[in-house]
Amino acid sequence: MAKVLVIYYSRTGNTKKMAEFIGEGVKKEGLEAVIKDVGEVEADELLRYEALIIGSPTYYGTMAGQIKQLFDETVKFHGKLEGKIGAAFASSANIAGGNETTILDILNAMLIHGMIIQGDPMGDHYGAVAIAAPDSRVAKQCSRLGSRVAKLVKKCTS
Ligand SMILES: Cc1cc2nc3c(=O)[nH]c(=O)nc-3n(C[C@H](O)[C@H](O)[C@H](O)COP(=O)(O)O)c2cc1C
């Protein structure tokens, strides 16, 4: 079975909750979802999954240092993530607090790795976003993101 790795960093639980909703969306499509705190992830592990969904709180408009550090560690196998599917999500304290720039920074690193990114014309366009504690809108968008990534994995691996 194709596997999707959902990685998050979260100090106060908001981004972690989003990761859980995303995992539910992946499972709805019949794929395995592994959800991990970035502190539990060894960079080499990323090679074992068909898709990576990475989320961060917004720190000064970009990803937390812990997520950036993971990306920096991937340089040792640069080129080997090519063709994997990627997606991102972010939490912030404020509307217009930089959650979309955080997502775009994560997607930027994924694109440099040669990963495949799908936008969303109807839902959260760049990836799921939350302002503070995730509400029912966020739950829906996160689940939607997980399901869309899983569907794309199935398309690309069939
Ligand atoms: C160092 C730091 C920088 C932050 N920078 C921003 C910011 O630029 N914009 C914003 O809206 N929120 C900012 N926040 C708030 C967090 O993004 C927000 O509280 C988020 O929901 C925390 O997610 P978590 O519960 O997963 O830790 C910042 C918080 C910290 C600790």
Regarding the beta carbon of 133 and ligand 1, being less than 6 Å apart is answered no
**Number of domains composing the chain:** 1
Number of C-beta neighbours around residue 74 at 10 A: 17
Regarding the beta carbon of 92 and ligand 1, being less than 6 Å apart is answered yes
Task: Give the atom of ligand 1 at the shortest distance from the alpha carbon of 58.
Answer: 17
pLDDT at 131: 98
CA of 9 to the centre of ligand 1 (A): 11
**Reported pTM:** 0.98
pLDDT in tens, the chain (158 residues): 889 999 999 999 999 999 999 999 999 999 999 999 999 999 999 999 999 999 999 999 999 999 999 999 999 999 999 999 999 999 999 999 999 999 999 999 999 999 999 999 999 999 999 999 999 999 999 999 999 999 999 999 98
Range of the domain at 73: 3-157
Q: Is 11 exposed, middle or buried (0-12, 13-18, 19+ CB in 10 A)?
A: exposed
Going by alpha carbons, the residue nearest to atom 11 of ligand 1 is 97
CATH code where residue 78 lies:
3.40.50.360
